[in-house]
Amino acid sequence: MEDRGVVTLVNPNQIYPPIAPYALDVLTTALEAAGFETHVLDLTFHLDDWKQVLREYFQARRPLLVGVTCRNTDTVYAFEQRPFIDGYKAVIDEIRRLTGAPVITGGVGFSTMPFALVDYFDVDFGVKGPGEKIICDLAEALSEGRPADGIPGLLINHGPGQVTRVPPPVLSGRTATTALPLPLGAPGHFESRTWQAETELSYARRSGVPYKVDNLRYYRAGGLGSILTKNGCVYRCTQCVEPDAKGTRFARRDLEAVVDEVESLTAQGVYDLHTTDSEFNLSIASSKNLLREIIRRRDSDVSSPLRHLRLWVYCQPAPFDAEFAELLAAAGCAGVNVGADHVRREMLDGWKVTGKGTRYYDFSDTERLTELCHRNGMLTMVEALFGMPGETLETMRDCVDRMMALDATVTGFSLGLRLFPYMDLAISLAEQCDGVRTVPGLQSHNASQPIVLKPLEKCSGPIEYERQFMFDSAGDFRLVCYFSPDLPEAPETVGSPNGIWRASVDFLWDYIPKSEHYRVMLPTISGSSENDNNYADNPFLTSLNRQGYTGAFWAHWRDREAILSGADLIGELAAEPVR
Please, are residues 553 and 540 in contact by the beta-carbon 8 Å criterion? Answer: yes
H/E element, 155: strand 154-157
- Which residues of the chain does CATH 3.80.30.20 include? 224-415+496-558
Residue 268's identity, in one-letter code, is Q
Residue 175: beta bridge partners? 172
Report whether 212 contacts 206 (CB < 8 A): yes
Where does the pLDDT of residue 1 fall: very low under 50, low under 70, confident under 90, or very high at 90 and above? very low
| Helical (H) or strand (E) element with 417 | strand 417-418
H/E element holding 230?
strand 230-231
Per residue in 243-277, pLDDT tens?
999 999 999 999 999 999 999 999 999 999 999 99
**Residue 271: what pLDDT?**
98
In the structure, what pLDDT confidence band is assigned to residue 576 with cuts at 50, 70 and 90? Answer: very low
Helices (H) and strands (E) in the chain, counts: 20, 21
Does the N-terminal peptide bond of residue 462 adopt cis geometry, omega within 30 degrees of 0? no
Beta bridge partners of 353: 359
pLDDT digits (tens, 9 = 90+) for 48-103: 999 999 999 999 999 999 999 999 999 888 998 999 999 999 999 999 999 999 99
pTM: 0.92
Q: Using an 8 Å Cβ cutoff, are 93 and 81 in contact?
A: no
The predicted structure's pLDDT at residue 277? 94
Q: What is the CATH number of domain 6-167?
A: 3.40.50.2300
Residues of the chain with CATH 3.40.50.2300: 6-167
Q: Report phi then psi at 38, rounded to 5.
A: -125, 125
Does residue 574 contact residue 559 with C-beta atoms inside 8 Å? yes
Average pLDDT, the chain: 91
- CA distance linking residue 503 with residue 181, whole number of Å: 51
pLDDT value of residue 53: 97
Contact (Cβ atoms closer than 8 angstroms) between residue 501 and residue 523: no
The CATH homologous superfamily to which domain 224-415+496-558 belongs is tm_1862 like domain (3.80.30.20)
pLDDT at 285: 97
Q: What is the dihedral of CA 277, 283, 287, 289, to 10 degrees?
A: -150
In percent, the amount of the chain with pLDDT more than 70 equals: 92
**For residues 445-475, b (16+ Cβ closer than 10 Å) or e, as one string?**
bebeeebbbbbbeebebbbbbbbbbbbbeee
pLDDT in tens, 513-535: 999 999 999 999 865 555 555 66
Most confident segment among 1-10, 376-385, 541-550: 376-385
User: Which pLDDT belongs to residue 569?
Assistant: 41
The predicted structure's pLDDT at residue 558: 92
- Residues 555 and 40: their CA atoms lie apart, in Å, by 32
Measure the CA–CA gap between 107 and 348, rounded to whole angstroms: 29
Helical spans, DSSP H, in 228-283: 242-246, 255-267
* pLDDT for the residue numbered 529: 54
Confidence category of residue 509, pLDDT binned at 50, 70, 90: very high
DSSP letter (8 states) at residue 264: H
